[in-house]
Amino acid sequence: MASLFDNYRLGELTVPNRVVMAPMTRVRASAGGLATSSMATYYAQRATAGLIVTEGVQPSLVGQSNPGTPGLHTDEQVTAWRPVTDAVHTNGGRIFAQLMHGGRVSHPDTTGMRPVGPSAVPAVGEVFTPTGPQPAPTPRALDTAEVAEHALSYARAARRAVDAGFDGVELHGANGYLISQFLSSNANLRTDRYGGSVTGRIRFAVEAVSVTVEAVGAARTGIRLSPGGTFWGVEERDIPELYTALLTELARLEPAYVHLEATTDESVLTGLRRVWPGTLIMNPVSPMGPKQTGRTEADHWLGLGADLISFGRAFIANPDLVERLRTGLPLAPVDEATYYRGGDAGYLTYPAYQYTA
């Protein structure tokens, strides 16, 4: 079995270990969706990860889900990201931008625009806005002719990401956001070629990956998926069939990796591992679940055939997570109250392990 600390060939990169920093929203961007110097420090502190995947980055204004998140759809945003990627590379790291189109999980108070989605079905729950949580609005259903433009938004943002110095991009196809909404059987009620059958429901995801691969190359393109996840009220019928079909189509495009979340039964996930011929990044625990990934879960999934393991919450409080895992040092607890508070407290203030004589 591979060790978590073995190197690995990922696309055109050789990563020094199989520890991936998972994408986690931290809402520290400045006005205009600009990355900041604090963000450069935050990611540089964690550059010993084999790969960093950033927080979700909106590929368009209408694709912005939460206030305070960064974008990659203006020249100013590209310029603001360059010190971040430079800082990570100076510290020896590798970094992909996660491209996240929120779809229906947004609000006009955040973007000044009505959210869009595959169908006029609102998300379940309250969405974040500049004035606090509000009920999720009913999105405008995209016309068939408009859908391709939103797939292209990922490709355009990917080009900007490469211009900003990123090593690649990960399309956020999980957790109830736009790609996940198209995969869903209750958020997607379309009767055109983007809905209905499994073939229809996977079409948007495949097209988004395809145009991104055309834009920046397969070696710079990954996608994250949450089979069976119910975030923001999405449901999926026929999970094994749906994701087997999706992975089969994605395999033709040869992206750098697929990043799966443990949002369904292990037997289903191991079946998808057998279907997927390329690199698999596995997040062993469901996001926001009661547990966080540790060495035990990582080794378990390496034994089941995953190539790399992503860690979310553990990386927030442990910038030196790779070393702590390597040497068996205790992991520092995370202060959940500072997840989305803004500022540097609970962001840049977690130290590396302090050895004592």
Q: Which of 42, 177, 194, 257 is catalytic?
A: 177
* Cβ within 8 Å of residue 314, ≥6 positions away: 292, 293, 294, 321, 331, 334
Name residues whose C-beta falls within 8 Å of residue 53's C-beta, 6 or more positions apart in sequence. 20, 21, 22, 23, 95, 96, 97, 98, 170, 224, 259, 310
Say if CB 66 and CB 104 are below 8 A apart. Answer: no
Q: Which of 73, 134, 69, 77 is nearest to 108 (CA)?
A: 134
Annotated catalytic residue 194: no
Cα(33)–Cα(331) distance, rounded to whole angstroms? Answer: 32
Under 8 Å between Cβ of 22 and 311: yes
Q: How far apart are CA 28 and CA 344, in angstroms?
A: 9
Torsion over CA: 160, 164, 168, 172 (sign): negative
Query: What torsion do the CA atoms of 246, 248, 252, 254 make, to the nearest 10 degrees?
Result: 80
Do residues 323 and 48 touch, judged by C-beta distance below 8 A?
Answer: yes
Exposure class string for 266-303: b at 16+ Cβ within 10 A, else e: eebbeebbeebebbbbbbbbbbeeeebbebebbbebbe
Residue 192 CB coordination number (10 Å) = 13
H or E stretch covering 29: none
Residues involved in catalysis = 177
